[in-house]
């Protein structure tokens, strides 16, 4: 028993030492990021959008010009009034104005229905599919989607939100997996009809744009055929590009031409192009297909890099961020765990010093981001 007690004590001591070492490493990394050269932080920070749990910490990142935008989660607005949220966003943007920098992207995940992270304090908008179901005439349904999006956009813009992570343009393949805890595309998709999805999603983007809010087409290359939940693990899309081009990619190809729309890259692996990396940081998918074959010159933003498909990948989220930017991604989203921002930025700073970030990729991305900020009209409501 004494031997067993000693082994148990040794194991506990080892675990504690390991935890303390990891904690010390994180705090060192955090200090190095916050004390990094300001020009380097600004250069790389314009490619990162982050979530937050502490406003003071967020203000410090904004003050250091270390981020391009902020993602508002349900936790950030819990218990707050619309006026409270408006004041908080105003304080963030005031820091940017004092720095004579463009406004931060202020992003929300306000699809409608269950995925309405800012409701409350905002009213919960209906799902696009539910709006269409209430209107037997297709033209009436499309018009109703646009009107609903316009109202939703005004509510978002009134808070200070200028980017919405919607609409979902993945096709509804009726795929239901009990192990899918978070993605649940069959509950969020508009339809299984590519033409209807294109028309409704386009009307939705029109309505948001009229209120001064940009839309986001998600989640390329389409998650409707994917059973696994990329929040938790990696997932493959084993479908040929030619087949996807006739169905799942129809809405993307049609709507990505819009200058006001961003495109969100999912973390599924498109095995026909790249068996090693998810689309969100795959050179074959981004540089080869989207930037190359499709000649897409709009903004590409990743889904949250804190998700399991990235975090547990061979690269891990830090090297995945390097790969994403080199491939032609403009904005890397780190929305769930703020601590992971430091992991990503620390690796980006090192990669930039070591010449592992491609100057041409950064320059082209900066040009796209500058064009994108110029396309957003002044909101029609007071902020």
Could you state, in chain order, the average pLDDT of each consecutive group of 10 residues for the chain (383 residues)? 64 60 80 93 97 95 96 97 98 96 96 95 97 97 98 97 98 87 91 98 98 97 94 95 97 95 98 97 98 98 96 95 98 91 97 97 96 64 39
Q: Can you read off the two tokens belonging to residue 375?
A: 């396309």
**pLDDT tens sequence across 88-117:** 999 999 999 999 999 999 999 999 999 999
Are residues 10 and 86 part of one domain? no
Give every CB contact of residue 42 below 8 A, 6+ residues apart in sequence.
65, 66
Judge whether 271 lies within some domain. Answer: yes
Query: b/e map of 225-252 (b: 16 or more CB within 10 Å)?
Result: bbebbbbbebbebebeeeebeebbbbbb
CB of 299 within 8 A of CB of 373?
A: no
- What integer pLDDT is reported at residue 381 of this predicted model? 40
- Answer yes or no: 303 catalytic: yes
In a domain, 262, yes or no: yes
Residue 337 lies in a domain: yes
Please, are residues 147 and 203 in contact by the beta-carbon 8 Å criterion?
Answer: no
Q: With respect to residue 380, please indicate whether it lies within any of the assigned structural domains.
A: no
Omega before residue 188 within 30° of 0, cis: no
CATH code (residue 329): 3.20.20.300
Task: Give the Cα-Cα-Cα angle 335, 251, 105 (nearest 5 degrees).
Answer: 30
Is residue 231 annotated as a catalytic residue, yes or no? Answer: yes
Task: State the pLDDT at residue 238.
Answer: 97
pLDDT computed for residue 351 by the predictor: 97
**Which of these is catalytic: 231, 248, 304, 330?**
231
Instruction: Give the pLDDT score at 383.
Output: 38
Distance CA 214, CA 211 (A): 9
Q: Are 9 and 146 in a shared domain?
A: no
Which residue among 172, 303, 304, 330 is the active-site one? Answer: 303
CA atoms of 165 and 95, how far apart (whole Å) = 24
What is the per-residue pLDDT for 54? 94
The single-letter DSSP state of residue 383 is: -
pLDDT computed for residue 213 by the predictor = 97
Domain extent, residue 350, equals 39-375
Tokens 């408006």 found at? 86
Q: What's residue 177's pLDDT?
A: 83
Does residue 19 sit in the same domain as residue 70?
A: no
Q: How many structural domains comprise the chain? A: 2
Shared domain check, 162 and 47:
yes
Among 57, 197, 190, 201, smallest CA distance to 127 is for 190
Q: Two tokens at 364?
A: 């082209």
Cα–Cα dist 296/276, whole Å = 23
Q: What pLDDT does residue 11 have?
A: 63
């Amino acid at each position: 028993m004494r031997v067993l007690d000693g082994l148990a004590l040794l194991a506990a001591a080892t675990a504690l030492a390991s935890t303390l070492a990891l904690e010390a490493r994180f705090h060192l990394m955090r200090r190095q990021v916050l004390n990094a050269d300001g020009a380097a932080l600004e250069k790389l920070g314009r490619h990162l959008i982050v979530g937050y749990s502490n406003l003071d910490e967020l203000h410090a990142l904004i003050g250091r010009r270390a981020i391009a935008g902020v993602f508002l989660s349900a936790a950030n607005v819990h218990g707050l009034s619309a006026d409270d949220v408006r004041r908080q966003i105003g304080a963030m943007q005031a820091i940017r104005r004092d720095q004579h920098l463009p406004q931060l992207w202020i992003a929300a995940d306000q699809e409608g229905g269950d995925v309405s992270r800012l409701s409350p304090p905002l009213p919960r908008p209906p799902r696009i599919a539910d709006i269409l179901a209430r209107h037997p005439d297709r033209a009436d349904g499309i018009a109703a989607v646009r009107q609903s999006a316009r109202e939703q956009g005004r509510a978002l813009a009134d808070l200070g939100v200028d980017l919405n992570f919607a609409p979902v343009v993945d096709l509804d393949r009726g795929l239901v997996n009990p192990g899918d805890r978070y993605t649940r595309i069959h509950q969020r998709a508009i339809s299984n009809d590519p033409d209807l999805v294109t028309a409704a999603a386009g009307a939705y983007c029109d309505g948001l744009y009229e209120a001064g809010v940009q839309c986001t087409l998600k989640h390329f290359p389409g998650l409707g055929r994917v059973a696994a939940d990329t929040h938790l693990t990696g997932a493959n899309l084993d479908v040929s590009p030619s087949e996807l081009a006739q169905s799942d990619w129809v809405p993307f190809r049609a709507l990505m031409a819009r200058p006001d729309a961003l495109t969100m890259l999912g973390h599924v692996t498109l095995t026909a192009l790249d068996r090693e990396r998810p689309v969100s940081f795959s050179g074959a998918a981004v540089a080869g297909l989207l930037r190359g074959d499709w000649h897409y010159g709009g903004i590409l933003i990743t889904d949250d890099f804190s998700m399991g498909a990235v975090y547990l990948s061979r690269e891990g989220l830090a090297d995945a961020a390097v790969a994403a930017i080199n491939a032609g991604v403009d904005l890397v989203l780190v929305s769930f765990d703020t601590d992971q921002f430091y992991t990503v930025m620390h690796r980006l700073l090192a990669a930039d010093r070591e010449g592992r970030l491609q100057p041409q990729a950064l320059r082209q991305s900066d040009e796209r981001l500058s064009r994108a900020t110029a396309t957003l009209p002044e909101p029609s409501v007071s902020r």
